[in-house]
Amino acid sequence: MSAAPTVSTPVLAQQEAVQFASEPLTIKTAKGATHSFTVELATTEDQREYGLMFRKVMPPDHGMLFVFEKMRDIMMWMENTPLPLDMLFLDADGKITHIQENAVPYSKAIINSGGPVKYVIELNGGIVKKFGLSVGDNASSATIAKR
């Protein structure tokens, strides 16, 4: 998954150059359930543009946390991404404000955040439904805590 617009340098040349740190992240539902994930961090422009492109598999308890400098409308897309993904859009406090379930692999359709957000979490498609995640639930991690 990448943040639109398209990558300005050849994507294949970036494939090996883009590296991601990772950290634990938890999502607490309104019903009190807590779900734990390990997320890779997309904090730079190159990392956000590259995202999960070309990944064919991802463990069920893994994902990616996209971090933006400030709250703003975000547009994502699935070009060059073979995995179906659930996208959770978060405000600066980690509260889920919008969810896009099962984004279609390889689609160039723009997926909008539906308003200003600071973070986007991408998880394997179907995780939102499996765990009953919804708008209003809260995500927390060391990165989100830094704000």
pLDDT of residue 13: 44
Per residue in 96-144, pLDDT (tens digit) is 999 999 999 999 999 999 999 999 999 999 999 999 999 999 999 999 9
pLDDT of residue 7: 42
Per residue in 47-72, pLDDT (tens digit) is 999 999 999 999 999 999 999 999 99
Does 86 score more than 60 pLDDT? Answer: yes
Q: How many domains does the chain have?
A: 1
pLDDT band, residue 3 (cuts 50/70/90): low
pLDDT band, residue 18 (cuts 50/70/90): confident
- 3-class SS letters over the chain: CEECCCCCCCHHHHHCCCCCCEEEEEEECCCCCEEEEEEEEECCHHHHHHCCCCCCCCCCCEEEEEEEEEEECCEEECCCCCCCEEEEEECCCCEEEEEEEEECCCCCCCEECCCCEEEEEEEECCHHHHHCCCCCCEEEEHHHHHC
**In CATH, what number is assigned to the domain containing residue 123?**
2.60.120.1140
Does 12 score more than 80 pLDDT? Answer: no
Structural domain boundaries enclosing 15: 2-146
